[in-house]
Structures are given as structure tokens and as C-alpha cells.
Amino acid sequence: MGKITVETCEIEGLKIITPSVFGDQRGYFMETYNYNDFKEAGIDQVFVQDNQSASRKGVLRGLHFQINFPQDKLVRVIKGEVYDVAVDLREGSKTFGKWHGELLSAENKKQFFIPKNFAHGFLVLSDEAEFCYKCTDFYHPNDEGGLYYADPEIGVTWPIPEGMELILSEKDTKWSGLSAYLKERAAK
């Protein structure tokens, strides 16, 4: 292996990947994804879609998930800095409802692997950020679910600097919390 370093988190399945960066006077080179290296590190997924978004400081996207067509995601930042969060929604998981946050930036070049059945979101901390991610299933617009980003039951500690005004989509202001999500899931 050697081209990537993989760290695990307190929540099983989440992984932080740091690529080897080779630099000289011209700049740098790194492999952002190599199936063989990732497979050797225990991430043996086939990614079928790549997405990219641009956001400005204070944008908070999430916490989103796909209901019937869950996706593994490999996320990274190519410009700026974000605080990226994953919330465990795996049925029967000993860490159900727990979250992990990771600072991702163009500078640290870290990637965050988030398995299926996690809610995901991020907060832009730099003036601008470009966010890229690979998915193992296609996006199904009528299959999107979400959790309220500030649900006290989940308790994400977003690093919101004093004076930062959050910018959320209308749908992200209307998601319910974990208890409502569990009631809805039990009713199905």
C-alpha cells in the first residue's frame, strides 16, 4: 500500500484517508483514489457517481441521507475548508445516533469515507469551499431524507465562529430530529 494512510474512528466503519503527496518546485502530485489501495485498506466499494459543489462561508448542508438507496461516500475538499459530519443511522449499531466530525481542507488533503446508512453534512469555514464526493449508488431525488443539523438529541458540536451567520437551504431548516426519524421508521 503506502500511498494512503487510513485512520479509523470511534464509530466503526468511518475512515479518514490521507494520501501520500509528492511535491517539488513545480507543485505536487497525489492519487486521490486507487481501487487497489482502498481495497487493501478495507474499502472495497464500486463508486458510480462523482459530485462536486461550491459553497461560501457559513453554508451548512445536511444532515442528508438516502432512504431506500443508501450510498457509501468518499468525500474531500479541493478548495477551502469544511467541518464534515457523519451520524450513524445503522439499525442495531452500538453507536446509533452518534456522530463524528472531521476537518477537511484543500491543505490537509484528507478524505472521509462514510458507509451506507449514515446521515452526512458539512459546514463551510473558509470564504469559499469546493467539495467533491464519490457515491456507490446514483442519486434518487425522491429518496432523500434528513435530520435537523442542530438536533439536541444528536448534539453535533459544529465549530461555528462567533458572528458567523449560517446559510441553510429551506429543506435543511425543516428536517426533524432523531426521535421523529425513529418514530417514522418504526411506522413503516
Catalytic (active site) residue 140: no
140-167 pLDDT tens trace: 989 999 999 999 999 999 999 999 999 9
The answer on pLDDT for 25 being more than 90 is: yes
The answer on pLDDT for 1 being more than 50 is: no
Q: What is the pLDDT of residue 186?
A: 85
133, 148, 149, 181: which one is catalytic?
133
Q: Over pLDDT 90: what percentage of the chain? A: 92
Average pLDDT, the chain: 95
The answer on pLDDT for 96 being more than 50 is: yes
* Structural domains of the chain, ranges and CATH numbers in brackets: 4-187 (2.60.120.10)
Over residues 113-122, mean pLDDT:
98
Catalytic (active site) residue 35: no
DSSP the chain: --SEEEEE-SSTT-EEEEE--EEETTEEE--S--HHHHHHTT------EEEEEEEETTBEEEEEEESSS---EEEEEEESEEEEEEEE--TT-TTTT-EEEEEEETTT--EEEE-SSEEEEEEE-SSEEEEEEEESS---GGGEEE--TT-TTT-------TTPPPB--HHHHH---HHHHHHHHHH-
Q: What is the pLDDT of residue 111?
A: 98
Over residues 49-58, mean pLDDT:
97
Higher-confidence residue of 152 and 2: namely 152
Q: What is the pLDDT of residue 2?
A: 60
